[in-house]
Amino acid sequence: MFRARIAPSKSGFPTSGMSIPPKSFRSAGRVNPEGIGILYLSSDDKTVLNEVRANTFDYVCIGEFQSKRDIMVVNLSGLSSTSPFLYDGELEKYAANRKVFQEIAIELARPLRRSDSPLEYLPTQYISEFIKNQKRYDGIEYASTLRDGGYNLALFDEELFECVNVYTTEVTGIEYKTRQENLQS
């Protein structure tokens, strides 16, 4: 798994500097309210580079993380494809909840724009706290909307993974993909 941090210079950060930020620097995220530490990791170095939203000429430290033990996570990206067979004869419950499951998966993966309020994450933070309080899950997995095929892990305990290697890379270019919106006046 991988984690990225935008670095102030080429020298980057040591492995000890790649975990969750100090309490005073923890901003609200899709899984955590402000001030609460969550270790966000991504499936590969390209996904994490997209997730950190680096700009051209930024230096980015990418840490490679290994799990210290087997973990159990809730895969929220799979909610939209939950099988009706899991409901064992209660297809009404499945039908009633399918749309809700799909909306939760979409909301969790949806990135915020710079102009959006952190309050936009309240629903997913609530769901995450509910999962965390079950005490049997170590985190949440969800699809990356910033890179097709990539996924992210949000871990409730940063001690579950350790950073085993760090390298610094410089962003030399970004390719934008656009979709034109027709505005009516």
pLDDT tens digits along 144-181: 888 889 999 999 999 999 999 999 999 999 887 888 88
pTM score, whole prediction = 0.78
- What is the Cα–Cα distance from 147 to 173, expressed in whole angstroms? 16
State mean pLDDT over 24-51. Answer: 86
pLDDT at 24: 78
Q: Where are the domains of the chain?
A: 2-170
Task: Give the pLDDT score at 111.
Answer: 63
Tell whether the torsion through CA atoms of 126, 132, 135 and 141 is positive or negative: positive
Question: What DSSP line would sit under 91-158, residue for residue?
Answer: HHHHHHHHHHHHHHHHHHHPPPPTTS-GGGGHHHHHHHHHHHTTSS--EEEEE-SSSTT-EEEEES-G
Which has more pLDDT, 176 or 117?
Answer: 176
